């Protein structure tokens, strides 16, 4: 593919941190045949310049954006349930945990990033208006849902009273995919093993979205896709950290193909108007 003809895909992230996710996503998109640019609150790009968009992971979405107040009592109760042994382990491993969190997301779960919220919500809404292919990863899937009027679970502790909550960059979580979904056709596995780095998840899906993957056995939403757009998919896991999986790499191949279609569509419109 000629370099000039490669579609341009933007990848959003925070101004501080998030480098590991950016480089991993960039590598997979370039491998899939795309040009890639990083978009942050201080590195903005117009949606008109892009053929596709990845809304990356990171800080929790502010609950005010989906009509809720922050549930401090939920987080406080979760902290109180920690055993003394676990508290000691966390204390001893805190430097390593902090470093991993900074590399993967750039923020702690409780930290807000209102500038990034505003940037990404604007890009999602304009992208939907323009028919730009969208892939939401973790926080990105949640934000696509919020942009379409959906809500989130601020905390998932109630889902894991009997089943331990998995938090791992390794594919240790099992998810069941919806038959007939675009995501199932891309991943070609059912059930699939994925990683898990999130503390929130989609509750009520936004307008036009349908739930196409759930965690086993809790039923927590793990992926959504739009019924009406050619490519609007949100996954709760981090496919950029599973390059060994052909199915997960397939997500980036499918996004790049959809972005190439959008690029050709625009070129055709430009030629017809000239």
Active site residues: 138, 238, 240
Q: Are 157 and 74 in contact (CB under 8 A)?
A: yes
238 contacts 57 by C-beta, under 8 angstroms: yes
Cβ atoms of 41 and 13 closer than 8 Å = no
* Cβ neighbours around 92 below 10 Å, total: 10
Q: What whole-number distance in Å separates Cα of residue 14 and Cα of residue 40?
A: 5
Task: Report the C-alpha gap between 75 and 62 in whole angstroms.
Answer: 15
Q: Which tokens sit at 263? A: 């690029």
Q: Is 38 exposed, middle or buried (0-12, 13-18, 19+ CB in 10 A)?
A: middle
């Amino acid at each position: 593919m000629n370099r000039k003809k490669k579609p341009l895909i933007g990848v959003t992230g925070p101004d501080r941190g998030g480098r590991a996710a950016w480089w991993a996503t960039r590598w997979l998109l370039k491998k899939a045949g795309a040009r890639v640019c990083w978009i942050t609150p201080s590195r903005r790009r117009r949606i008109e310049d892009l053929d596709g968009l990845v809304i990356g992971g990171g800080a929790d979405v502010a609950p005010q954006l989906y009509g809720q107040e922050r549930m401090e009592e939920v987080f406080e109760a979760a902290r109180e349930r920690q055993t003394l042994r676990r508290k000691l382990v966390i204390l001893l491993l805190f430097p390593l945990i902090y470093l991993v969190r900074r590399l993967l997301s750039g923020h702690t779960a409780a930290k807000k990033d209102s500038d990034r919220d505003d940037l990404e919500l604007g890009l999602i809404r304009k992208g939907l208006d323009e028919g730009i292919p969208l892939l939401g990863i973790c926080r990105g899937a949640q934000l696509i849902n919020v942009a379409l009027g959906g809500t989130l679970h601020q905390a998932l502790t109630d889902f894991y009273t009997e089943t331990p909550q998995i938090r791992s960059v390794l594919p240790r979580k099992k998810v069941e995919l919806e038959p007939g979904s675009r995501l199932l056709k891309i991943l070609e596995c059912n059930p699939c093993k994925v990683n898990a780095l999130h503390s929130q998840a989609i509750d009520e899906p936004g307008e036009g979205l349908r739930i196409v993957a759930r965690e086993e056995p809790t039923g927590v939403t793990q992926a959504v896709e739009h019924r009406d757009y050619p490519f609007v998919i949100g996954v709760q896991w981090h496919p950029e950290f599973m390059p060994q999986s052909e199915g997960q790499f397939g997500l980036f191949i499918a996004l790049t193909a959809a972005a190439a279609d959008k690029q050709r569509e625009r070129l055709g419109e430009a030629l017809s108007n000239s």
